[in-house]
Amino acid sequence: MESVIVIGAGLAGSEAAWQLAQRGIPVELREMKPAKMTPAHHSPWFGELVCSNSLRSDQLENAVGLLKEELRRMGSLILSCADAHRVEAGGALAVDRHGFARAVTEKVRSHPLITVAEGEVTALPESGNVIVASGPLTSDALAEAIKDFFPESHYLNFFDAAAPLVTFESVDMESAFFASRYDKGTPDYINCPMTEEEYDAFWTELCAAQEAEVHGFEDKSVFEGCMPVEVMARRGKQTLCYGPLKPRGLRDPRTGKEPFAVVQLRRDNADGTIYNLVGFQTHLKWPEQKRVFSMIPALKNAEFVRYGVMHRNTYLDSPRLLDRYYRVKKEPRICFAGQITGVEGYVESTASGFLAAVELARRLEGKPPVDFPQETATGALALYISNGSVADFQPMNINFGLIPPLGYRVKGKRNKNAELSRRALEVLDTLDM
């Protein structure tokens, strides 16, 4: 059998290579390290964790905890190495990053069906089956090749400038109202009004909030495309009121008047479970976003499923390009996996590599695909990145907002999330893999 080419030996690429090989499919794993390094990488090991050493919560009341448990049950290489090199971190799964990366590398390199080819890949292979898992810091040459592969539009983004996302159920609708400006069209926006006193307090804290550090491999061009909301605020006390927080044409039904300022939330998915803060692209640290944006009365108890980010991040407009198996719609022999698909996070990247590899292996074996349902975290993530109803696609962590509701009430958020996880794992156990 002809080898599948996997490009990139990060978390997604290593997972994909392993899953293919475990199913009897020979793999040629192409990795540019150590011959060529990115500014963010420092070791020759596969699966190098560039930022945090934490794979986040290990609790089933958290969506990423559910995703990890699904991967464990399905035989994930990355999760087995992470569990073997765990360090104390309370309820989170944190690892000895060097021990973890060495373990991933040794497992992959020692597999009899995996051949490692070192050196930079500068073009997409013209034939054969390929999984591209080159990551958010894809080399310039390969990024250009991918861009040329999708000539129909500007579907390759080179930076991520996204506003925070909150769950609909966490918005205090007693302090908000549905409306469109000047009542034009349907009332699609959630409007979060603020009094002058509330706005003054919010503006003061927004101007003083701490910004995230700019990494050495990023440059100011990341921030030229759209102005962070905190920078706009510092230009003057009333600037936001003439920009993203302008109240014109919005009447608060509780008072019958225009509020002093209004934060608008726009639906982010077809199900209406997730909303984004319109015009709130930001470079604030995540705890600062939680602190300051929760000062908006309707968001005082908001559940943030994604914080605003502004950083270098090469990713596809996947809903237009990929299917639920991470395959290119126009040329299914090519799959993408990892952060380049718009999944955000270590575990999410791993899950995408796992699913892409499993589906490719089944296709090569003449078997039908495994259609991971939306009730599972693995399926919900794949269905999000391939959902054509998501118009303004932005990278996303797994969260319970992507998973269908239970259809019945469960008292308490943690209990509800635990029940969603229980259902997901029951569904997972019925799948033929």
Q: How many CB atoms lie within 10 A of CB 286?
A: 15
* pLDDT at 43 (0 to 100): 83
Residue, of 136 and 319, whose pLDDT is higher: 319
Residue 222 — pLDDT band, cuts 50, 70, 90?
A: very low
Q: Which residues contact 201 (CB under 8 A, 6 or more apart)?
A: 295
How far apart are the C-alpha atoms of 53 and 221, rounded to whole Å?
28
Under DSSP, the state recorded for 367 is P
Mean of the pLDDT values across residues 2-15? 97
Instruction: Give the whole-number percent of the chain exceeding pLDDT 70.
Output: 93
Whole-model pTM over 0.85: no
- Phi/psi of residue 221, nearest 5 degrees: -60, -25
Question: Using an 8 Å Cβ cutoff, are 274 and 390 in contact?
Answer: no
Question: Residue 161's pLDDT band (boundaries 50, 70, 90)?
Answer: low
* DSSP structural state of residue 63: H
What's the pLDDT at 213?
Answer: 73
Confidence check: pLDDT of 37 > 90: no
Token duo for residue 37: 């390094």
DSSP string covering 153-184: S--EEEEEEE--EEEGGGS-GGG-EEE-GGG-
Mean pLDDT value across residues 228-245: 91
In this predicted model, which residue has the larger pLDDT, 105 or 391?
105
Work out the average pLDDT over 332-344.
Answer: 94
CB half-sphere exposure, 48, CA atoms < 13 A: 19
Residue 279 has pLDDT above 70, yes or no: yes
- Distance (Å, rounded) from C-alpha 178 to C-alpha 188? 6
**What would the mean pLDDT of 23-27 be, rounded to a whole number?**
98
What percent of the chain is predicted at pLDDT more than 90? 68
Query: Is 195 a residue whose pLDDT tops 70?
Result: yes
Q: For tokens 């984004």, name the residue.
A: 276
Contact (CB, 8 A) for 344 and 52 = no
DSSP per-residue codes, 31-58: E-TTTS--TT--SS-TT---S-SEEEE-
Domains of the chain: 4-162+311-428 (3.50.50.60), 165-306 (2.40.30)
User: Mean pLDDT over residues 397-419, rounded?
Assistant: 93
Tokens of 104: 């991933």
Q: What is the dihedral of CA 21, 27, 33, 38, to 10 degrees?
A: -90
> In the predicted model, is pLDDT for residue 223 greater than 50?
no
